A = this chain, B = another copy of it.
C-alpha cells in the first residue's frame, strides 16, 4: 500500500483524545441523535432512507459536540443548544450530500455514497430538505443572533465550494488561495458551531469571540490534517484510500508546497498529473516521493499546529473547567490523528 509515514516531532506520552468531550456531551448528544432521527423523518420514504444512510455512517459528530460544549461551558441548560447542534449537523450532512454529487464521489468512509445508491437527484434534493429542516430548527430556537451566524455560514460554505471549483486543477493556486477555500468550506461551520453556544448561553461578547476563533482555527487545523491523511498516516482506518485527492486532481497544501518548492521538471510533472489527469499509481508513487522530499506533509502538519496554537490561545482567557480542557484536548486530537 502506498503512503507516507509521518514522524511527529513533539509526540507526547499520552495520545490526545476526543473522549473527554464525548463523555461530557453524552447526555445531550443522545437528545441530538433523537432529534436527528425525528427531523430527518418524512412521509416521503426516500428522505429518511437517504438521510439515515449518511447520518448513520459513523462520523464523529464533532461539530454538534462543539455547539453543546460551547453552550454548556457557560452553564447553559435547556433545549436551544440541542436544536442548534442538530441544525449544525444537518448543515454538514447537506454539504456532504451535495459535495459527493459535485465531486462525483463513489465512496465516503468506505461506504457507497448516497448518490451511488439513490442517484444524484435524490442527493441534491435530500440535501436541500435537510438544509430547510436545519433552518426550521434554528427559527424554532428563536435567536436572531444564532440565525445570523448560521445563515451567514451557509452562504460562506457554498461560496467556498464554488471558489474551490474555480481553483480546481490549477497548479498556480497559492497557499493563500487554498486557505481561503478551507476557511470558507470547512472552518466557517466549525466557527459557527462554536459561536452559537455562547450566543444561546447569553454570555459576554469576548467569550463569544473566543469560541468563534477557537472553532475557526480548529477547523483549519482539522482540514489541513485531513489533507495530510489523504497521502498517508491512518487514511485507511478512516475509510479513505491513500491518494484519493491526487486521483481527483484536488489541490491541497501538501501538493501546493511540493509544487512551489520543486524544480521546473517537477512542476511539469505536477501539472501533467493534476491538471492533465495523469494520476495513475505510478505517478502517485512519484508524487509521494516529491511530497516527502519537499516536506509537504510535515510542513502541512506544522501549519495545522500553527492554527492549533491560535485556537488554544483563543480559549486561554476563559476560566478552567472540564469543558475547556476537553475542547483544548480536541485540538491535539485533531492534529495527532496523523501520527
Q: Output the least CB separation between A179 and chain B (Å).
A: 14
A151 on interface, CB distance cutoff 8 Å = yes
In the complex, which of the residues B121, B124, B135, B162 contacts A154, with contact meaning CB atoms closer than 8 Å? B135
A170 on interface, CB distance cutoff 8 Å = no
In the complex, which of the residues B129, B140, B162 contacts A159, with contact meaning CB atoms closer than 8 Å? B129
User: Known contacts A139-B148, A155-B129: does B102 contact A162 (CB below 8 Å)?
Assistant: no
Docked Cα-Cα span, A126 to B102, in Å, equals: 12
Q: Output the least CB separation between A88 and chain B (Å).
A: 14
> Which 5 pairs of residues, A with B, have the shortest CB-CB distance?
A132-B155, A132-B154, A129-B158, A128-B158, A135-B151
A152 on interface, CB distance cutoff 8 Å = yes
Question: Which residues of the other chain, B, contact A156 by a CB distance below 8 angstroms?
Answer: 132
Q: Which A residues lie at the B interface, using CB under 8 A? A: 42, 44-47, 98, 101-102, 120-122, 124-126, 128-129, 131-133, 135-136, 138-140, 142, 144, 147-148, 151-152, 154-159, 161-163, 165-166
In the complex, which of the residues B151, B152, B165 contacts A125, with contact meaning CB atoms closer than 8 Å? B165
Q: Which residue of chain B has its CB nearest to the CB of A153?
A: B132
Question: Which residues of the other chain, B, contact A120 by a CB distance below 8 angstroms?
Answer: 101-102, 120
Question: Which residues of the other chain, B, contact A152 by a CB distance below 8 angstroms?
Answer: 132, 136
**Main SS of chain A's interface residues?**
helix
Docked Cα-Cα span, A142 to B144, in Å, equals: 7
Question: Which residues of the other chain, B, contact A157 by a CB distance below 8 angstroms?
Answer: 128, 132
Asked if B155 and A133 make an inter-chain contact with CB atoms under 8 angstroms apart, the answer reads: yes
Question: Which residues of the other chain, B, contact A121 by a CB distance below 8 angstroms?
Answer: 101-102, 165
Q: List 9 A-B contacts (CB under 8 A).
A: A44-B166, A102-B121, A102-B125, A121-B165, A132-B152, A132-B155, A139-B148, A139-B151, A144-B144
Q: Output the least CB separation between A98 and chain B (Å).
A: 5
Q: Which residue of chain B has its CB nearest to the CB of A161?
A: B125
